[in-house]
Amino acid sequence: MPTFPFTEADPIQYPGPPPNASEVVIVGGGIIGVTTALFLAARNIPVTLLEKGRVAAEQSSRNWGWIRKQGRDADELPIVIEASRLWRQLAEECGEDIGLNQTGVTYLANADKDMAKFEEFMRIAAIHELDTRLLDADETAKLISGMSRRFKGAMTTPSDMRAEPWLAVPALARLAVRKGARIVENCAARTLELSAGRVKGVWTEAGYIGASTVLVAGGAWSSLFLRRHGVAIPQLSVRVTTAATEPMPEVYSGAAADDHIAFRRRQDGGYTLAAGGSHLLYLGPDAFRHATQYLPALRDNPFGTRYFPFAPSGYPDGWSTPRDWAPDSASPFERMRVLNPASEPAKLRSIERNFKQLFPRFETVRLKAGWGGMIDAMPDVVPVVDRVQAVGGLFVATGMSGHGFGIGPGIGRVVSDMIQGNETGHDLSRFRLSRFYDGSPVRLGPAL
């Protein structure tokens, strides 16, 4: 197992070379690209997945590992319900322990207004017959032992799950390869080759691949890749700091959060911790370009975002990051194999402090790791999953907005059917690309 977080120093598992042609090319080896490749390969469709760095080295291994239906946007729910079933099936098929456990997800309420918000979700939960329920203060204290604070109550969904992202996504990639997908790491897709308004292939740093269908599932890099071809998506990314404790006694076997602290039991007996609700946005040209589309999110949570005026060099929205390049010259993608932001030391300290304040009995437990991750977000906090109307054969599945791990296999299945021209079985109109340009008001999904 490579060290974590994965970096470009980790050994390449899929060296290539890429083929000269493939029916489908997928740009991006995160959970979305990997599961789409898996479902296409299962239907014997020749598919090649290109990953500029290492499979799952960006968001798909750095995330908290929550697989939740609870608190989801109403239009995402049917897909995440399917995803929960697929997680079980794929975990079996993998034949590896990916840490999948049905241990529940719980949101803790500090105030009546939190409980009122939970009530709103209860109406959606009832439509889908979820096992979500509200708890009073005593029931909450019983569910999570040893908390120093008494909460107003909680909302909990016992059927929600957890998995270890850094085990799960590489295992799913191995399964995809066993089913016939081709994966090439250390291989950036530089540009598309277009002819008469259609995709003809992809230029990579290792040569040209002829392909009639391309899926862009590049996480935080999708907007940069697509913009060069005249496809604009208002995607930004924010930095989040996460920490892991060493093994400690269990206080709750699932995942829980309030406004201050989020914690999730891990397979190794530790907890993965993060601060509730605050992230850092590095300002670059796209942040200004798309500012008006993000105003509703900003108004909804004015203090949730902190700002840093300069996106670091080489980042997707860096001031000096090139927006145009030739197919035969190095692109920004291969210049940054793995987007590996540092964790914020002050955040790590506050995460540790908040966790220990909530569980004073564990004053001596130490953090064993901390890492940063860039979450790719859309203005309405729901993804783009669509066929690009202006370019035949081009598909996009990105902007998972901080909750793409849990829903990942569901999106992968949906996109694989979309590519094959099959019915997807879900209403995807909420996730259409044109919503940002057809005069539709921004309809905010639930915040992270």
Query: Residue 411 and residue 428: Cα distance in Å, rounded?
Result: 10
Q: Quick one: CA dihedral 325, 326, 328, 329, positive or negative?
A: negative
Stretch that binds ligand FAD, among 112-120, 130-138, 402-410, 422-430 (CB under 6 A): 402-410
Query: Residue 257 and residue 264: Cα distance in Å, rounded?
Result: 9
Nearest CB to ligand FAD, comparing residues 169 and 251: 169
Is 118 among the residues that bind ligand FAD (CB under 6 A)? no
Nearest CB to ligand FAD, comparing residues 403 and 435: 403
Is 284 among the residues that bind ligand FAD (CB under 6 A)? no
Query: Residue 445 and residue 448: Cα distance in Å, rounded?
Result: 9
Name the minimum Å distance from CB 403 to ligand FAD.
Answer: 4
Number of residues forming the site for ligand FAD (CB under 6 A)? 40
Among 71, 270, 370, 406, binds ligand FAD (CB under 6 A): 406
Site for ligand FAD in 183-202 (CB under 6 A): 188-189
Stretch that binds ligand FAD, among 15-23, 147-155, 174-182, 397-405 (CB under 6 A): 397-405
Query: Residue 107 and residue 109: Cα distance in Å, rounded?
Result: 7
* Token representation of residue 353: 């402090």
Is 65 among the residues that bind ligand FAD (CB under 6 A)? yes
Taking phi over 0 as left and psi of -120 to 50 as alpha, with beta for the rest, 393 belongs to left
Name the minimum Å distance from CB 7 to ligand FAD.
Answer: 12
Nearest CB to ligand FAD, comparing residues 337 and 426: 337
CB 374 within 8 A of CB 58: yes
| Helix (H/G/I), strand (E/B), else coil: 355 | helix
Is 340 among the residues that bind ligand FAD (CB under 6 A)? no
Look up residue 383 and give its amino acid.
Answer: P
Name the minimum Å distance from CB 191 to ligand FAD.
Answer: 9
Helices (H), 53-109: 59-62, 77-94
Name the minimum Å distance from CB 264 to ligand FAD.
Answer: 7
Stretch that binds ligand FAD, among 13-21, 45-53, 360-368, 436-444 (CB under 6 A): 45-53
Among 22, 60, 213, 223, binds ligand FAD (CB under 6 A): 60
Query: Residue 61 and residue 356: Cα distance in Å, rounded?
Result: 25
Is 144 among the residues that bind ligand FAD (CB under 6 A)? no
Nearest CB to ligand FAD, comparing residues 350 and 361: 350
Burial class (CB in 10 A: 0-12, 13-18, 19+), 288: exposed
Among 6, 36, 41, 62, binds ligand FAD (CB under 6 A): 62
Among 5, 30, 201, 446, binds ligand FAD (CB under 6 A): 30
Is 410 among the residues that bind ligand FAD (CB under 6 A)? no
Query: Residue 147 and residue 286: Cα distance in Å, rounded?
Result: 42
* Token representation of residue 242: 């996460």
Q: Could you write out the DSSP letters of every residue in 279-341? A: EEEE--HHHHHTHHHHHHHHHHSTTSEEEESSPPTTSTT-TTS-S---TTS--HHHH-SS--P
Per-residue DSSP letter, 386: E
Name the minimum Å distance from CB 239 to ligand FAD.
Answer: 8
Is 63 among the residues that bind ligand FAD (CB under 6 A)? yes
Is 263 among the residues that bind ligand FAD (CB under 6 A)? no
Look up residue 225 and give its amino acid.
Answer: F
Name the minimum Å distance from CB 401 to ligand FAD.
Answer: 7
Residue 349 CB neighbours (<10 A): 13
Among 5, 14, 18, 29, binds ligand FAD (CB under 6 A): 29
Q: How do 24-27 and 213-216 pair as beta strands? A: parallel
Among 168, 240, 382, 428, binds ligand FAD (CB under 6 A): 240
Query: Residue 137 and residue 141: Cα distance in Å, rounded?
Result: 6
Among 31, 79, 109, 211, binds ligand FAD (CB under 6 A): 31
Biggest alpha carbon–alpha carbon distance for the chain: 66
Is 254 among the residues that bind ligand FAD (CB under 6 A)? no
Stretch that binds ligand FAD, among 5-13, 60-68, 118-126, 192-200 (CB under 6 A): 60-68
**Binding footprint of ligand FAD on the chain (CB under 6 A):** 27-33, 50-53, 57-60, 62-66, 188-189, 217-221, 225, 240, 242, 333, 373, 375, 398, 400, 402-406
